[in-house]
Structure 1
């Protein structure tokens, strides 16, 4: 990668600027900065949480299982990345479902980071999109997902963060993907 080891040419946040920014083997821009458990970037050299590999093609069951493990560990940002892989690599007819689940995970991420407004908005948007997909596809529980329960969970969490505004405990609020409600 084209990372610089000193502060020269950095943007002020520790990110290399210009042609020396992080890139993958194909030359696409990639941010190699370490991240904390909620996906927030840390300065280069800081100890971070292991990142989810990107571009993994999993079965729907494996996607749900992996995302549930990450949610239970309080890593909703990482769960969002798993859902994002399914969204990008899955059948076109299911992309809206996986995108909605990614939005729910990102909503929990923002709520845990203390971004109440953004978290609540994404939770409601994801809940609505998941419900819409199930209605359109005539599948209430695709792959065993409890979409009605997830919708209730998302709206309850959105209401809670709207009311309180304080960061939530991501692990304590982790939904049961196959059973609704907090874990």
Structure 2
């Protein structure tokens, strides 16, 4: 029997995408094992979600370390101890540094609330509304050293209605994220499509 891949999820806040992944694992939609939550905000609700699901946690504060290299080395120790195969960023608000990238090259993915390369960085949903575009979306991509610049794996469009508000668009984006991310992870982890730079068409 094929061994399920072991995932670490990185989150900084509420953790709704983390919860979607937890739910997909428990329902059997995602053939993976959740081995670790990594969180850089000790007060984040994602930690409570991990507690409720019985998932081990590594919680840290960056300011307690001399450098990004220092805390990423400690991260790697926890990841290796948990036998993690693949890293999933889900609202993790820090750029991944070279220490972690080199150790898990081609095995780190992120989800971003826009159709990259449009609207990278923070507040992508607000950026799209301000720009007055008619559509935005969700992107799953491999992580490199840049901000939301890694090779795109999959995208899903979301229409912006004429009277759209930030709250209504956020709700639509989150609904798409919670379906798309587990589905893309399932393909990456179980169908031999963990190819750096492989892309699915936008729909």
Provide the TM-score with structure 1 as the length reference. 0.30
Which of the two has greater helix per residue?
1
Which of the two has greater strand per residue?
2
